[in-house]
Amino acid sequence: MDLGLKDKVVLVAASSKGLGFGIARQAALEGAVVSMGSRHMNNLKAAEAAIKEELPEAQILSHSLDVSDPDSIHLWVKNSLGELGSVDALVVNGGGPPAGTFDEIDDQTWLAGYENTLMSAVRLIREVLPAMRSNNSGSILTVTSSSVKEPIDNLLLSNVYRSGVTSLVKSLSILEAKHGIRINNLVPGFFDTDRLRELDLRNSGEWRLSLENVRKINFEKIPMGRYGDPEEFGKAAMFLLSEAASYVTGETFVIDGGKMRTVW
């Protein structure tokens, strides 16, 4: 299927590694013009180089982006628009907030989670909406977490703030539909990324089990019996960003190998 993304301008936040990189790479494979952003410039340049090594013809920009900093968000979008002329799609993404139970999280950590997870989504979307409204088209996708459907005991910050992002998306999808703008959420289950390896390592210490056994326990919870590959996540993102999903907005899609038990 031709998704119609060739030469479309796609902005992908936090795309130097993990799921963000999986999305940026897949967008490049579809022929899109991709603006990648990350606060880790060395990782970002390495990610850009990896895509160009695989796809020499890929049109990639990379700019510094700290999603916790409103000025950085503004400059990333401004620079991308200045160099590329427009924006057809935005992927809202960022590193997950730190793990911790209610008793472990202090006010400073709550406020940092608010800035990094909820307000980053607000600000990123706010920056691209004028250009999308002017074009009377656009697609926005937020990368959230399975915690928005099934709270995770030791990820309280994610439970709270990512649920706020999901509600924001639903509200904006109603308001922006008249401008031809679609907004959806994409919920990852267990994907083989640095973030998941970090959580597995934490659980290894808490459970007093080897890392191998922690992964085995997690595999047993997933009907497909494995972690997902970021490439699989990127392909799902491409569908939602593309005109193949032209009648889809305000939805929360789960890609988790069948792990989640909820039906809504």
CATH number at residue 113: 3.40.50.720
Question: How far, in Å, are 24, 86, 177, 243 from residue 250 at the CA level?
Answer: 22, 23, 9, 15
- Domain match, 107 and 199 both: no
On whether both 45 and 75 belong to a single domain, the answer is yes
Instruction: Return the H-helix or E-strand segment holding 92.
Output: strand 89-92
Token pair belonging to 17: 């590694």
Q: In what order do the strands lie in the sheet with 9-12?
A: 59-64, 33-38, 9-12, 89-92, 138-143, 181-188, 252-255
Quote the pLDDT of residue 202: 83
Q: What is the pTM of this model?
A: 0.93
Residue 3 covered by a domain:
no
Are 218 and 101 in a shared domain?
Answer: no
Beta bridge partners of 140: 90, 183
Under 8 Å between Cβ of 192 and 227 = yes
Between CA 110 and CA 116 the distance in angstroms is: 10
Is-contact 87 78, C-beta < 8 A? no
In terms of domains, do 51 and 93 share one?
yes
The answer on 147 and 53 residing in a single domain is yes
| The pLDDT of residue 96 | 81
Q: Is residue 2 part of a domain?
A: no
Q: Which residues pair with 64 in a beta bridge?
A: 38
Residue 194, CA distances (Å) to 8, 17, 18, 217 in order: 29, 8, 7, 18
Task: List, for the chain, all residue ranges whose pLDDT scores fall below the cut of 50.
Answer: none
Question: Can you tell me the distance from the alpha carbon of 82 to that of 126, in angstroms, rounded to the nearest whole number?
Answer: 17
CA distances from 57 to 23, 85, 231 (A): 17, 19, 20
My answer on whether 210 and 81 are in the same domain is no
Task: State how many domains the chain has.
Answer: 2
Tell whether 135 is covered by a domain.
yes
pLDDT of residue 135: 96
The percent of the chain in helix, strand and coil, each rounded to the nearest 5, is 55, 15, 30
Question: Do 73 and 95 fall into the same domain?
Answer: yes
Q: Is residue 71 part of a domain?
A: yes
Domain that holds residue 204: 192-227
Q: Which of 50, 70, 69 is nearest to 58 (CA)?
A: 50
DSSP-derived letter for residue 62 is E
